[in-house]
């Protein structure tokens, strides 16, 4: 039998929930055999589209679809400069699609190719938010009633809202927040939640890199009494050395990584045991191939996985998460955003959620597809979300 080769690569952009998603479809020399992968970089979707169509596509057409490792490494270095979010996401779309094809050729779901399940379903956490303590409590209770046991709690989203902001005259527009007010309000929130919800529900929180390093150290220390499952993204990637100081002053479990692109960002945190959960957005590092290697690295150092799974990951990316989750010994928790009816129509075969666990289906490959005609009914829009334009009270632009 002749080798199966890449015949065509399509870049599908769609926004069924108003969030820009990028999906790659790799077609082979056997028309009925194809694979899909996630390449979503919501805020730069047009750049990812260009990288796929103008660079990866002409480079990869005619290559053997079975040669995933060769394709991944040669694509990574083909532009010389590497480990950037645009090319990594473009590469991820191709990489996941090739793994999807591999599973289809083997007649197995990907978790079987990864060595089989070590758990039937993966526990997930959901997001409870509100403008006051009671709203967050009610949101958390709603999830608990649905069978969820892990709840990430925020107060007015990232950094807080409805704060007294006194900006200088002529300060530019932006998503203003006050770090000190945010810290005080969140400490009060978790005191309230523990009092009302009790000790058994697992609570999480995301700082979203919105504090100065020394404030993050102090904040982690003050949150200790509330027994969080983990504290997420306490620092921006530019300030990783401060994790040593957090470790010295607090035993709160730490999760980090959704903005990482480069192995040099996560290696010191993992090998020095400065975090407890790796929170990487797997399309941001290039897809399933590097994610599997990272999983093994983390296992050796006692770090668990908690892949980044927001609404700006496509259902194809979520499906990849679940195959990794159920087959990895050091799985910790999976972030879960849920699928609207529109998403499930555009992406038939979405993983299913039941009683706080997400389950892969047993179809070959990723077990998910994309309806190109339906996807085209939900065009993307090139508008930056407001939350990325974060500013401190005096108008200084800061990390979002």
In eight-state DSSP terms, residue 49 is: H
156 beta partners = none
| Backbone phi and psi for residue 126, each to the nearest 5 degrees, phi listed first | -115, 170
The whole-angstrom separation of Cα 157 and Cα 286 is 28
DSSP secondary structure of 135-171: HHHHHHHHHHHTT--EEEE-SSSTT-SS----PPTTP
Phi-psi region of 147 (alpha: psi -120 to 50; beta: other; left: phi over 0): left
| Backbone phi and psi for residue 153, each to the nearest 5 degrees, phi listed first | -115, 125
352 beta partners = 359
- Picking from 255, 254, 153, the residue whose alpha carbon sits closest to that of residue 196 is 153
| Backbone phi and psi for residue 246, each to the nearest 5 degrees, phi listed first | -60, -45
Question: Interior CA angle at 334 toward 385 and 280, to 5°?
Answer: 60
**Buried (b) or exposed (e) across 160-198, using 16+ Cβ within 10 A?**
beebeeeeeeeeeebbbbbbebbbebbeebbebbbeebe
- Active-site positions read 158, 208
Long-range contacts of 259-263 (CB under 8 A, 24+ apart): 259/209, 259/233, 259/284, 260/284, 260/285, 261/83, 261/84, 261/85, 261/88, 261/285, 262/83, 263/83
Phi-psi region of 347 (alpha: psi -120 to 50; beta: other; left: phi over 0): beta
Sign, Cα dihedral of 68, 71, 76, 77? positive
Q: What is the rounded (10 degree) CA torsion for 26, 28, 30, 31?
A: 40
């Amino acid at each position: 039998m002749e080798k199966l080769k890449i015949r065509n690569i399509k870049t599908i952009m769609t926004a069924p929930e108003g969030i820009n998603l990028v999906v790659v479809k790799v077609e082979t020399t056997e028309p009925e055999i194809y694979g899909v992968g996630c390449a979503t970089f919501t805020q730069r979707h047009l750049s990812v589209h260009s990288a796929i169509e103008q660079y990866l596509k002409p480079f990869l057409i005619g290559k053997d679809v079975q040669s995933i490792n060769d394709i991944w490494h040669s694509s990574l270095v083909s532009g010389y400069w590497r480990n950037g979010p645009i090319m990594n996401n473009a590469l991820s779309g191709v990489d996941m699609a090739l793994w999807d094809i591999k599973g289809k050729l083997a007649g197995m779901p990907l978790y079987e190719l990864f060595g089989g399940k070590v758990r039937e379903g993966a526990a997930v956490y959901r997001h409870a938010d509100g403008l006051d303590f009671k709203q967050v409590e009610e949101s958390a209770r709603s999830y608990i009633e649905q069978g969820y046991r892990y709840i990430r709690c925020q107060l007015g989203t990232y950094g807080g809202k409805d704060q007294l902001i006194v900006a200088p005259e002529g300060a530019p527009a932006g998503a203003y927040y006050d770090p000190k007010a945010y810290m005080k309000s969140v400490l009060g929130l978790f005191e309230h939640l523990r009092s009302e919800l009790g000790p058994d529900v697992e609570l999480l929180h995301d700082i979203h890199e919105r504090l100065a390093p020394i404030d993050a150290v102090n904040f982690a220390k003050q949150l200790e009494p509330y027994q969080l499952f983990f504290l997420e993204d306490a620092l921006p990637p530019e300030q990783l050395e401060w994790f040593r100081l957090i470790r010295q002053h607090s035993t709160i479990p730490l999760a980090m990584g959704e903005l990482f692109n480069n192995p040099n960002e996560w290696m010191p945190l993992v090998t020095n045991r400065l975090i407890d959960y790796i929170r990487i957005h797997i399309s941001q590092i290039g897809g399933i191939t590097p994610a599997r290697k990272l999983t093994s690295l983390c296992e050796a150092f006692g770090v668990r996985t908690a892949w980044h799974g927001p609404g700006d990951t496509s259902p194809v990316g979520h499906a990849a998460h679940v195959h990794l989750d159920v087959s990895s010994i050091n799985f910790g928790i999976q972030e879960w955003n849920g699928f609207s009816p529109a998403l499930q129509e555009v992406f038939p075969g979405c993983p299913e959620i039941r009683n706080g666990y997400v389950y892969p289906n047993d179809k070959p490959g990723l077990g998910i597809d994309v309806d190109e005609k339906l996807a085209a009914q939900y065009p993307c829009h090139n508008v930056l979300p407001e939350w990325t334009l974060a500013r401190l009270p005096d108008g200084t632009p800061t990390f979002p």
